[in-house]
Structure formats: C-alpha cells, structure tokens
Chains A and B, each alone.
Chain A
C-alpha cells in the first residue's frame, strides 16, 4: 500500500491516462444563521475512469458536499470542476440534468426510491427519462433485478421491501442506464453489517464488470478499504490520497 499526499498539482504517477474529472481548488460555503459557513476550503482532485473512490471523514468534514458538487446537484462557490476538460460551472441546469441522466447514477443512504412506484418501475425510471420505450426499459430493469437477485420482489412497493432490498433496487436503478459515474452517499449507512457487505459486493461487482467510476461517501473504514482509492477529508480539506496496491498495480 502506497501513500501520496493529495497535492493540487496532479500526481504524475497517474497522469498517463486523461482524468475524467478534474477538481481544482474547490470552495463551498453556505449561509448559516446569516453568516457564511465554509465547508470546503480548497479541494483539488483527479478522478479517472473505472476508479472506485471512498470519501471519508467525520460529520461536517464536507464529504457529502463534495459529492453533491461533483454530481452537479449544487453550485460551487469558488474553484472549478472540469469534466473531460470542460468546466461544469458554465453548464446550465438542463445541461447538468442531461449529463446526469446520460452518464451518472445515484445511490443514497436512505435509498430515495419513489414510494408510489414498484421496484421494477423505480429501476426503469432512469431509462424512461432517457427516452427508452416502456417495454425495453422493463426488460433491462428485470435483468438488473435478476442480477441483484431481487427479481421476485420486482412488483413490490418500497415499503414492502427490507432495507437491503431497497438499497439493491436503488443500486439497480443507479446502474440501469450503464452510467460512467456512480455517486453513492453512505449506501450502507442504514444497513446491518451483513447486508452492508452484500450491497457493497453488488456495487463493486458492477463497478468491475462495467468499468464504472464509483465515488462513495462513507464513514465506515472497512467499506473504504475495499475501494481502490481512499480520500479522507478533514475540515474541508483533503487529508491524503490512499491508493490500494491492487489499483497501483493496475495503473503501472
């Protein structure tokens, strides 16, 4: 296991491949009680295709904020996020939305399934948004559910499913349209250890199979350790950038 400090200047070791996302001196502050509260205080980072990154840190360290900025769910205060060299803050909401529906998948801590939709419908949703026809979307959704071995629950509504099942549906939904990037916000936070492992397995399996980039916020070190890259945050700054040996080997 090798450790490098996370410097703004991109690590030369990994520059052999063009970065998918480039984060340059990112700042984010909110107004809180009338005073600006700075959450991110200059974060720089490169993200490469096929990576799995764990963002860790204590509550308030800014990991979730970083995630939502990366996903284009919120606007940066200062700094830049480049997607394949293109500055994202210049995009309007529609452009961001298009990007998300084409290349991004989400997994949330509390699943965020549409309560009035069945598991199958939830999974079909991103495909439908992409403009798939209903039948095809359904078939793809069924495949994914099958793959995650929850097909028998396909016609159940979220409240009829257990937490693990719900999260697997959420994962299926995130992968349904074969996105380039998956953002996961504490996907195992609400689950017991055993289920956590199952869910994590699912996520990493798909990550491997589909060469999807996975960016996950977690506070669970055992989870973080299973990722190729581990970036702990503290008080709005990157502490270090830990790459697993496995990944190092692959890059070399």
Chain B
C-alpha cells in the first residue's frame, strides 16, 4: 500500500488531488462500487426512457388510428358556422381538413363474379351520365315518406347500360367509407395493387377488403353495385390505418371504400339515411405539434357544436386504455429496477464501509500529518462523489444500452413504431441518483471516520469505524422515505407506492429477522460442538467464522437473501403467470362469439361447429332485463340534466338494460367468494352477483332485486357473490339467477367457440349465417392477438429481468464476499503457519459457505413464498409454486454462495503462507 503523501497545501485542490490518488490507487474497487450502483440506475433510466418512447409512439399511433389530429363525427353534416370556422383555420394555415362519410349499406356482387373484366368497363364509364336525374323509384309501397335523393334506378329500364338488379346477386352488408383525396392524413392505406389512387378519385370506383373479395369471389376490375351505381373494383384493401372508426352494425361488416364525390350519386344519402359524417383535421406541421393548440381547437369545436351525439376527439386522448396498461406495466418494471438499485446500494454501501475501515490507518497517518477532521471528511466525501460520477456514467451507458435493447424488443412484440431518444432529464437523473446514493449512504461512515482521533486509530484500539445507531436509523429512514416517494411518483399513486415500499421493507425486515435467528442458532451450535473429531473442528470453526464476523455476515447474508428472494419471487410470479396464460392456451381459447342464437337452433349450430372441427360449446341463455327495485324500493330516475357525463354514466349503469342468465352450476371460470351457490335443483328465486358489480351497486347477500323482463316482474334474493376469471373467454354474466326464475323468460343464447385455424372462420361464418341468418358472429381473433402480443412482451421482459437480477446478485455477492478477503487471507496464512492443513482450511470455509447457503435458501423460500403470494394477489393471478421450483430456489441459494465463495477465495487457498501474509498487510 502506498501511503498517500501529505498534500502540499490543505486547500480544496490538494484534497481533490489526494482523493484522486486514492481513487486511482484503488481503481479496481472503485470500479466495483460504481458498477454496483450503476446497475439499478441503468435500469431506471432505461425504463423511464423506454416508457417515454412508447408513450410518444402510442400518440403517433393514435394519430394513425384516427388518421388525423382531431376528428369530428356526427350524425348530420356540420352546421355552416362550424364549417366556416374550419375553413378559416385552413386559410390561416393552421390545419388541413378532410371530409369522410361512414355508413352501412348493401353491396351487390355481380352474378358471375369472375366475369371477364373486359366486358364491363364500358358500362362503368357510362354510368355518370345515367345517374344525373333524381327520381322516386325505391319506394316499394305507398310509403308516406318523401324521397328527395337522386336515384338512377328509374332509368334502368330505359338505359340498358345501367346496372340492373338481375345482373347482381343478393346484396351483402358492408361498411362504406367515402374518402377525399387527402385521406389518410396519417398512416398509409395498404392495397393491392399498391397505387390505389390511380383510377379511384373522380371515377365510379371502389376498393374492398380482401376478405370480402375472397369470400365473394371478386377481383380487381369486377363491377359491383352500390345503391344505384355500378362501381368498378380498383384495388383490394390489405390494411387500413383508421380501421377502428365507425360503430354500429357496420363496424363488423367488411370495408368498402368509395370516392367522397360519388357518395351522393349512389342514392344512399339524404333523407332517412343513417350516416356518420366526419371531418378530420391535421396540423400543418405534424412534427412540431402544439398540443395546447389542438386542445384549444377541440374545446372551441365542442363549444360550437352543442349538439348531442357529436363527438370531437383529439388524438392525444385516443387509446387511453393501452396507455394506461403500458404505464402500469412500466410501473411494475420501475419497481423492479428500484429493487435492483436498492440491492446495488446495499452492496455498494457494505463494500465502501469495508473499504473505509481499511482506510483507517491511512486516515490516522493523514491526521498526524496535519489534516483535520474536516479535511478527512472532504477527502472521502469527494471519493464518494467520484464513485457516484463513475456510477452515473456507467448507469447512463447501461441505461442507453438497455433501452435500445428494450426498444427493439417492444418494437417486435407490440408492433409499435418507436423512435429512439434520450431526454436530458435522464442524464441528470442518472448522475443525481448515483451521486446521491454513494454520498448519502456513506455520509455517516465518513463522518465517523473523520471524527476518530488519530490516537484511537494508531493505537489499534479502534478496529472498526464506530457507527452510531442513530446514524444508521436516519440513513435507513431516508432510504425508506426516498424509496417510497420514488415509487409513489412512478406509480402516480401513494397507495401503490406505499404497498410496494411496505412489502419490500417487510420482506427485508423478515429476512433480517430470520438471519439474526439463524446466526444465533449457529453460535449456539458452534458452542456445543466440542468433540475432538476433525469434523467437529471444521464445523465449529466454520460456524464460528460465520458468527464472529457478524457485521460482514449480516451484510452479505442480507444482500444475498434479498437478491435471491427477489429473483425467485420474480420467477415464481412469472411461472404462475405463464401457467395462467396457458390455461387459456391459444388453441383452446375461444375466438368466436355467437350471439342471438335461438333455443331451437342450438342443435343445428352445434352440428355446424362439429363439422368445422370445433368442440361444441355450452350455450348460455341471455335474458334482457331492467332493474326496477332493490329491496322492494323502486329505483328513481334522477334528474341528471347538467350532471357530469360521468355521473350520467354511473346513473345509466343502474338503469341500463342488463343481460341476465340462469344456470344450475357454475362454469370453470367462476368462483364463489361469499355465500353459497344454489344446488342444481333449487326452485327458489335466487341471485348470484359478480363481486365488483355488487360492490358498485352496493348490494350484498340477503338483498332482493326485482327485474322487469318484458313486462313481467321477477324478483329474487342474492344468495352468493362470485368472482369471474375473464381471461377464460367464456361467456359470463354479472347477474345469474336460478333456472326457476328465468327459464320461461324471452331469451336468446350466446356462446363462445374455439375454431382453429382462424382461416376457417370465414367459411364457418358463411355456413352458419346461411342457415341461421339471425345469428351474429363476432371474431375475437384480432383482439386476442393483441392481448397475446402484450402478454408476450411482458413475459419476455420479465424473463430478461429475472436473468439480469440474477447477474446483479452474483456480481454483488462476489464483491461482498471479496470484501472480507484481506482478513480471510490473514487467517488462512495464520492457520497454515499453525499447521492447519489445506483441506481443513477449505473445509472450514465450505462449512461457512454452505451454512450461508442453507440460511439463504430457507429464508429465501419462506420470504419469497410470502412475497410472491402477496404480489400475486395484487396482480390477481393464481399463485402456484411447484416442488421443482422449490428445489430450484433451494439449490440456487445453496450453491450460489458456495460456488462464488470458493471462486473468490481460490487464490487465497492456493497461495503460500508468506504470500498471504504479505497480501494481508
């Protein structure tokens, strides 16, 4: 050890120089301290940054999904005043605007779908002239409804070229979207052929969903009839940016796009039409979008359009659900990285304390050379800050690497377009956090070190830097509070942050308690093994070695147990979670919902499902009812005028029409949480409610509810409360009654079907609807895919995280075990000098490490079981742990300290006595 020389001057510069010299002299260890802290910092940075990127890209995606910045949709054209206002916006160069119509209609495919394309273009091109005169032709009966819309059908007899009914097949329901050339503002319409604009605008043209074309045997160039027009198919739609817009029945029907200009000529618009009118706005410079301006415009529009059923949406509000989910997922990860930070901090603080202890002699010499306590404090504070800066630098580097990796992961799994960016806030945060931790956690030790008198140090009377309990307490408290605040900020919820902090603190305290108990037990055992056998000697000394180095043992036992606990908790959770997901494995997961089935159709539908290779499902009756009385008291309609939208929605929840069902037994996704579900043969009027629903309405067991079912009152008593596992994709109902109560009521049946592969769905749907036209089929495949994508990303990230945690644990463990090396070397040298054999020495250490492993594995098993159960309950997944998992934890915890310890000390064992003596000095 080269004793640092006395600085030439005691000014700040000298101190800094001295600090730098010490830093450089021990650069290896400084690197370790910095790395320990950098891991957690890196994680936090990466996650924060990733979350920002995802949020940003979701906003961009929301633009794409709306194909605009602001969308105004209403059942009528916008009032002239608003139209003028929008035009002004355009004139001012602020916004582009585009109009769009969305409505359901019936499209008739040609009788010979595969008619040679050459035979029809002429009829198409001749169309415009034929449809110029309006006439009343579509009224089948003496309707009293005046019709003012143009229709060319009247002309069909006279004009042989106009599309006649006879040349077309039965019409099918489609979802029409009429667009202007500016469409789409964001995103891209993917078609085959790619250049869809060619021959589209200004022509009698249309584009169809590929699925529709395939189902009907249509090709590009074919002519279909829409309203009174014959339209030539110019392209097939492969993907549409703003697909999800438009509601009602049309939303489920295949898309057909037509030019905005010919929409009016189809004869489908006008009096009695049910059309959604859209106006889309796009800022002139999307790169530099002023969110406040968008909010302003939106507000103004809302104020102008005091017409009900007009919706004004800004892209910033779109997709709140996904954003919310991501936010929450991110919070989970931020919590995990906070834990990594905590682990690193513990490792760093423990090893820095050891280091400072070793520095006592140097301090004594420096003090003798005339440095005051203040200088010593400044010196080591600077050293800590130096470690912090290095840690911040490493953390930032790691953060950048991790977020780049995470970015590509998320990009692949969630199909998000992410842009890489690094906000300066994160750079600050990285350095700030690292410096704060290295300084804050060691401040008390540094102060105590500085306060020691040189005499105390040099006389050797003080073997360790004395740490006051009070300093430890305050440091712990500050850490706790800081952690809580950080967690609460990340979660945007004091409660969640508190829950997390408390769980974690509880876990740490529990670990500490177990460890203290175990160490006590070890001391007791060591005291009792006094026999002369070599085994007893080894056991006694191994245990004594562990027990006597109390502070060091506590530190690494704590670091080890917390680390392994976290890793195994994560793993248990991950496996519980994967087990959950597997219950709803893709092949078994229902992907179709059938609704509006009539009872007499059940057998036939089951047969069709069987024909398509599906498993015939259970059909659940659905009875529409309205809640009229609770506990015999009539529900009053409240005056809601002027009430907030939310209040109205809440009120509607009570008044709205409910879907009830009746059944004899629960399905596999239902669990009764209180009360008792009726026996299969119950003839009473009993009700079972879903838990959340019951809570929302403030209902409990014993309450009565009266429903009005098409005029008939049906009353029952609540006898049980259930929870439902919605992931099952089984049809489930908030309100279930006994068959006695409902079986005669008007009802339809619904069911969910798993039909794989999804390519069968289209033919299945056709087969089903041909025979049972009243049955509606809802394809959940896409939504399921989306959910699976998110879950997949989540699982993958969890796995990566668990591995990284393991790596951190190993790293910190190696460092912590290494920190007692000087003493271990000395002891090994001495024992060898006293004639102790090599293998005896190794055996003693094996006893120590195996004991550490045993303590760790027991503590880890107990604590991670507990924490896992608590967190699983919070995340609402079934907590499961298998024997294999337990064994895995046990082995990991057992072998980890042993392996690492042996590895770290291998050199010590190999070295000769003199070498160890020299090195320990």
Q: Do chains A and B touch in the complex (CB under 8 A)?
A: yes
Q: Are A100 and B548 in contact (CB under 8 A)?
A: no
Any B CB within 8 A of the CB of A83? no
The CA of A212 and the CA of B850, in the complex, are separated in Å by: 41
Residues of A within 8 A of B826 (CB): 112
Let me know if A71 is at the binding interface, CB within 8 A: yes
Question: Interface code B835-858, partner A: CB below 8 Å = 1, 0 otherwise?
Answer: 111101000000000000000000
Q: How far is the CA of A189 from the CA of B604 in the complex (A)?
A: 105
Bound complex: CA of A18 vs CA of B278, how far in Å?
Answer: 117
Known pairs A73-B912, A74-B914, A114-B827; A93 contacts B835 (CB<8 A): no
B140 at the interface (CB under 8 A from A): no
In addition to A115-B463, A131-B533, 15 A-B residue pairs with Cβ atoms within 8 Å of each other are: A73-B913, A94-B837, A100-B833, A101-B834, A106-B833, A114-B827, A115-B823, A117-B548, A125-B831, A126-B835, A128-B537, A131-B532, A134-B529, A159-B463, A173-B834
- Interface pair B830/A100, CB less than 8 Å apart: no
A-B contact number at CB 8 A: 84
For residue A235, CB closer than 8 A to chain B, the reply is: no
Q: Which of B456-473 contact A (CB under 8 A)?
A: 460-463
Residue of B nearest to A173 (CB): B834
**Most chain B CB neighbours (cut-off 10 Å) among A74, A97, A132, A136:** A97
A115 CA to B835 CA, complexed, in Å:
19
Which of B461, B544, B835, B836 has most A Cβ within 10 Å? B835
Contacts of A128 in B (CB 8 A): 537, 540-541
Chain A stretch 186-227: residues in CB contact (< 8 A) with chain B:
none
Inter-chain contact A68/B914, CB cutoff 8 Å: yes
User: Do B838 and A133 have beta carbons less than 8 Å apart?
Assistant: no
Interface 0/1 of B526-546, CB less than 8 Å to A: 000111111011001100110
* Residues of A82-112 whose CB lies within 8 A of B: 93-94, 97-102, 104, 106, 112
Say whether B537 contacts A131, CB under 8 Å. Answer: yes
Q: Using CB atoms, name the residue of chain A closest to B829.
A: A112
Q: Which residues of A contact B835 (CB under 8 A)?
A: 97-102, 104, 126, 129-130
CA distance A163 to B460 in the complex (A): 9
Contact string against B for A residues 120-144, beta-carbon threshold 8 Å, 1 for contact and 0 otherwise: 0100011011111111100000000
Q: Do B545 and A126 touch (CB < 8 A)? A: no
Q: Specify which chain B residues have a CB less than 8 angstroms from the CB of A97 in the assembled complex.
A: 832, 835-838
> Are B460 and A129 neighbours in the complex by a CB distance under 8 Å?
no
Q: In the complex, what residue of chain A is closest to B834 when comparing beta carbons?
A: A126
Q: Known: A159-B460, A159-B461. Is A131-B534 also a contact (CB below 8 A)?
A: yes
A163 contacts across to B, CB distance below 8 A: 460
CA of A50 to CA of B109 in the docked complex: distance in angstroms? 121
Which residues on the A side are within 8 Å of B545 (C-beta)? 116
Which of B532, B826, B833 neighbours the largest number of chain A CB atoms within 10 Å of its CB? B833
The CA-CA distance from A1 to B748 in the complex, in Å, is: 125
Q: Does B549 contact A (CB under 8 A)?
A: yes
Give the Cβ gap from B530 to chain A, nearest Cβ, in Å.
3
Give chain A nearest CB distance to B909 CB in angstroms. Answer: 11
Q: Give Cα distance in the complex from A101 to B537, angstroms.
A: 14
- Whether B838 contacts A94 by the Cβ 8 Å rule is yes
Contact of B830 among A68, A114, A134, A135 (CB under 8 A): A114
A74-B834 contact in complex given A114-B827, A159-B463, C-beta closer than 8 Å:
no
B837 near A98: Cβ-Cβ < 8 Å? yes
Contact B830 A74 (CB under 8 A): no
Chain A positions within 8 Å of B, measured between CB atoms, are: 68, 71, 73-75, 93-94, 97-102, 104, 106, 112, 114-117, 121, 125-126, 128-136, 159, 163, 173
27 contacts between A and B (CB under 8 A): A73-B833, A73-B912, A73-B913, A73-B914, A94-B838, A97-B832, A97-B835, A101-B835, A104-B835, A112-B830, A112-B833, A114-B830, A116-B544, A116-B548, A117-B544, A117-B548, A125-B834, A126-B834, A128-B541, A132-B532, A134-B530, A134-B531, A135-B530, A136-B532, A159-B460, A159-B461, A163-B460
Instruction: Indicate if the CB atoms of B531 and A116 lie closer than 8 Å.
Output: no
Q: Are B549 and A116 in contact (CB under 8 A)?
A: yes
- Contact at B831–A129, with CB atoms within 8 Å? yes
Q: Which B residues are closer than 8 A to A by beta carbons?
A: 460-463, 529-534, 536-537, 540-541, 544-545, 548-549, 823, 826-827, 830-838, 840, 912-914
Given the complex of chains A and B, what is the CA–CA distance between A104 and B834 in angstroms? Answer: 8
- For the complex, what is the distance from the CA of A20 to the CA of B840, rounded to whole Å? 29
Chain A residues with Cβ below 8 Å from B831 are: 125, 129
Chain B residue nearest to A128 in the complex (CB): B537
Question: What is the bound-complex CA distance between A163 and B549, given in angstroms?
Answer: 22
The answer for the CA separation of A112 and B918 in the assembled complex, in Å, is 12
Contacts of A75 in B (CB 8 A): 912
Q: Give the CA-CA distance A99 to B549 in the complex, in Å.
A: 30
B residues near A159, Cβ cutoff 8 Å: 460-463
Residues of B contacting A117 in the complex (Cβ-Cβ under 8 angstroms): 544, 548
Residue ID in chain B nearest A138 by CB atoms: B530
Contact A106 B548 (CB under 8 A): no
Chain B residue numbers with a CB within 8 Å of A116 are 544-545, 548-549
Q: Which residues of B contact A132 (CB under 8 A)?
A: 532
Q: List 4 A-B pairs, minimum CB-CB distance, nearest first.
A: A101-B835, A134-B530, A116-B548, A100-B835
The chain B residue with its CB closest to the CB of A122 is B830
Separation of A93 and B837 alpha carbons in the complex (Å) = 8
Q: A100-B833, A115-B823, A133-B532 are in contact. Are A93 and B838 (CB under 8 A)?
A: yes
Measured between beta carbons, the chain B residues less than 8 angstroms from A68 are 913-914
Tell me which residues across on chain A come within 8 A of B529, comparing CB atoms.
134
Closest chain B CB from A60 CB (angstroms): 15
Which residues of B are found within 8 Å of A74, using beta-carbon distances?
912-914
Distance of A128 Cα from B531 Cα, bound (Å): 10
B914 contacts A133, C-beta separation under 8 Å: no
Closest A residue, CB atoms, query B460: A159
A66 to chain B, nearest CB (A): 13
Contact check, B913 vs A129: say whether CB atoms are below 8 A apart: no
Taking CB atoms, residues of chain B closer than 8 Å to A129 are 537, 831, 834-836, 840
**Shortest Cβ gap from A17 to chain B (Å):** 26
Residue in B closest to A157 when the chains form the complex, CB atoms = B463
Chain B residues within 8 Å of A98, by CB: 835, 837
- Given the complex, which residues of B lie within 8 Å of A112, measured CB to CB? 826, 830, 833
The residue among A75, A93, A99 with the most chain B CB atoms within 10 A of its own CB is A93
* Contact yes or no, A134 B540, CB < 8 A: yes
Q: Name the residue in A98, A112, A159 with the highest tally of chain B Cβ atoms < 10 Å from its Cβ.
A: A112
CA distance A71 to B840 in the complex (A): 20
State the Cβ distance, B779 to closest chain A Cβ, in Å.
71
